[in-house]
Structure 1
Amino acid sequence: MNQQDVSPAQKRMEAIRTRAARASRDWSVMADGQLCLMTGEGEAEAVVLRVTDEAPVDDREFVLHLPDDHFWLLDMYDRLAERHRKALAEIDRLSPKPKDFSAECAMKCAKDHAFRRFLEERHNLDTSDLERIKTRVRSILAIQSMTELNTDENARKRWLSLRAEFDQWRRAR
């Protein structure tokens, strides 16, 4: 994914992850006349935030639990994102694969003698040369490349129409 594909939400999540990765995971609450949010231990212990008595109890609880809640939410998000990725992969694995109309057309041109006879009778095609057959079929379908049958809905419809015409011709014989 290049920089232009990154959404504002993804940028914000990356900034949150960066700050969390740089921050200590060792937090504690201490009361020394005031509630203090601390990080580190022993000599490395530092007061990060002092919560005054005037702060409402619910706000104090919210602020004092922010570090633990923040890391917990990031961990939970990662677990859920992984489950989501696995579920999408499973859906993809179980989903029917789209038909490869390009390959189907190429196979009919190369190996289906009835299809060649159909082209000869209905479209006045000299079927002695595979390259000539493929060129004429591309012309009939108004495409430059067989791969368009998989990428262009109109080309696919033209192929399905030609194939249906062939099936009808074959049943009538």
Structure 2
Amino acid sequence: MNAAVSSHGAALSPDAARLKAVRASLEAISPAVWLRAQDESGPLIEARADYGEIVVLARFSEHASPDEVAFAADAPDTVRFLLRLLDQAFAKIRTLRPEAQRDNPAIGEPAARSPKNFAAECALKCQDARFKVYLEEKHGLERPLTNERVEQRVRSILGVQSRKELNDGGQAAERWKALRADFAAWLKVNR
């Protein structure tokens, strides 16, 4: 069995690989607006297809409880909510980590600061559904909002052939910082 690999070549942990798969699954069914309904055959979940027609996604037996039907129908929203919480937690951890590493009490002097890994940060942003919508609205990213299209658009915006160039410093890193700041400003308005 092949291990999942991150965008910078390192093998992902099983949990990270599973999280990546969950994000990809949610992206594949986007916008995933599911509605509970009922017909003569019983409870069901339906959604609107690309051209507005209603399609039945799932039917339940008469033994399914309303809570079970609701749980299944709400699954995409629940997953989006949990991924958003994880993204916020990871962002907070990244902001706190430098503070914890600032002083190394075992040595009694400041710890050496590792350079910022903008390439890894960019790779994470490219998987964020909100970042994809931002690129669509502000930078003309065309649908479907796949990871590959996002990565290509970001490389084009930043004027790089590879995200690795972001770690070389210079103009590419500055353009990434500006794009990241514009995205953060967009998020504040579009929450």
| TM-score, reference length from structure 2 | 0.44
| TM-score, reference length from structure 1 | 0.48
Flag the structure with larger Rg.
1
More helix by share: 1
